[in-house]
Chains A and B, each alone.
Chain A
Amino acid sequence: MADEAGCGGEARMRVEGGFAHLPGRATDSCVPFERLGGDERAELARLADEASFFDCTPQPAAPRPDARTYTIGLTIDGRSRDLQLAEPIHDPRLAALVATVRRITRERGGA
């Protein structure tokens, strides 16, 4: 995935699985923080903090039929981590973080 970029970091997302394999969707997306407004950067930092994103222990999950697997990556203030999560994501704080990164990378991202 991409290097650490301006404004202290970036958000990354890869989505696999789902009801069908859609080649156009099976790509990595990355959004440098410099493309985001201050409010969005603050929201991501807050959600990552609430979800203990950089410290939590991953819960390995067997792939569920048609469920998606999200590889979410964040680089914030020098800390970086990529975490793989299968849906349904039972931790509501992680679910909220994934939903926000999905939205941001879809709206602002590029491969």
Chain B
Amino acid sequence: MCTLTHRHAIHCILPPYILSRIAEHGPPELRGTAIRALLVDPSIRIVRATTAGPVLGSVARLRSAAGNILTPSPLRTIRDAQHKPEAPGATVVRREGDAPTGDPAADEAYDGLGATFALYWEAYQRNSIDDAGLPLDATVHYDQDYDNAFWDGTQMVFGDGDGALFNRFTLALDVIGHELTHGVTEKEAGLAYFNQSGALNESISDVFGSLVKQKALGQDAAAADWLIGEGLFTPKVKGSALRSMKAPGTAYDDPVLGKDPQPAHMDDFVRTNQDNGGVHINSGIPNRAFYLAATAIGGKAWDRAGTIWYNALLDPNVRANTDFAAFARVTVDVAGRLYGAGSAEATAVGTAWSDVGVS
């Protein structure tokens, strides 16, 4: 029963079909309210999420009738693996709209997924991983002493670290953005996770992971640290982060973990059978190319530089086996299409790739 007097009556719990009728046929002063109630109603959140890309059908007509422009929102679910090697975790600890749990890992994962969703929507008008509102799932507290995070094809999985060398992996916002971006890449170019295409896959995750962090901090390219995984090491480790996009090969040099093996230039490209053909090693080369392009272009890196890289990822010429040189050509083409062939942006992108030895 509707008893609240400080809220409009239409905010009360009405079945969606009644709200739809009001939205479509009701008096003008109630139609917009009905649409907003429909969009807020948890019972249709999944429907909204899955129809918020190219909007079609009755929902689109309803939105159009109400004159509303949809702003998608994430649909997050955080699960707890309770230190077992199980993903998804058995226990749901936070759903979309729930209050913080007080568990730092669960709340950081929730907030990080939200920040990543915000970057993709606000900067590139991409609605979640698949651009169709795919729910965002994450599992935290995976396994014991687990110092890693990964994308398993359906969700992000985060360990708590071993406490000796590594802190929990949700601490680093760019790591969360990195993992979600693997899902975006899988849905778009589908870059094979091996050799140069795999290193490109890794680099794209570092690029957008860093942009998630930069946007959350409101930093421009010159102010950003361009580190990946800053804060993951405990004080026992001699290093600042897992990777540096600005200066690949300098992130750590530690007696236990060894020295950061990333090259910054094609002259130092590493041929190896380890690490799926060096996907986390040679990604330093395209990482630095993005850093050089973004700082040469200036301003917020997610604006022009990020837009160029994002549109390159969506370009049909970028396929599963695309290598550094092919991706470089696409980024230059995209920059030319977006900003002009002789623009400062296109020149900066071409020069950046040339400076890391990719042509």
Residues of A within 8 A of B (CB): 16-26, 62-68, 87-89, 92, 95-96, 98-99, 103
Contacts and interface: CB of A to CB of B under 8 A. Distances in A.
B149 interface: yes
Interface string B234-259: 00000000110000000000111111
Contacts of B281: 21
**Is chain A's binding surface mostly helix, strand, loop or mixed?**
loop
B261 A19 contact: no
A65 B202 CA distance: 8
A65 B148 CA distance: 11
Contact of A64 (B153, B242, B275, B278): B153
A13 to B, nearest CB: 14
Contact of B143 (A21, A26, A99): A99
B163 interface: no
Contacts of B85: 87-89, 92, 95-96, 98-99
A65 B242 CA distance: 16
A62 B320 CA distance: 14
A16 B243 CA distance: 17
B148 A63 contact: no
Interface of B: 84-87, 143-145, 147-153, 157, 169, 175, 178-179, 182, 186, 193-194, 201-202, 205, 229, 242-243, 254-259, 261, 274-276, 278, 280-281
Nearest to A67: B150
By Cβ-Cβ distance, the 5 closest A-B pairs, closest first, are A23-B258, A24-B258, A66-B150, A65-B182, A67-B150
A64 B239 CA distance: 27
B157 A21 contact: no
Contact of B151 (A23, A65, A89, A99): A65
A89 B86 CA distance: 8
A16 B242 CA distance: 16
Nearest to A102: B145
A98 B143 CA distance: 11
B229 A62 contact: no
Nearest to B185: A65
B150 A68 contact: yes
17 contacts: A16-B275, A18-B150, A19-B169, A19-B229, A20-B242, A21-B275, A23-B258, A23-B259, A24-B256, A63-B276, A64-B153, A65-B201, A65-B205, A67-B150, A87-B85, A95-B84, A96-B85
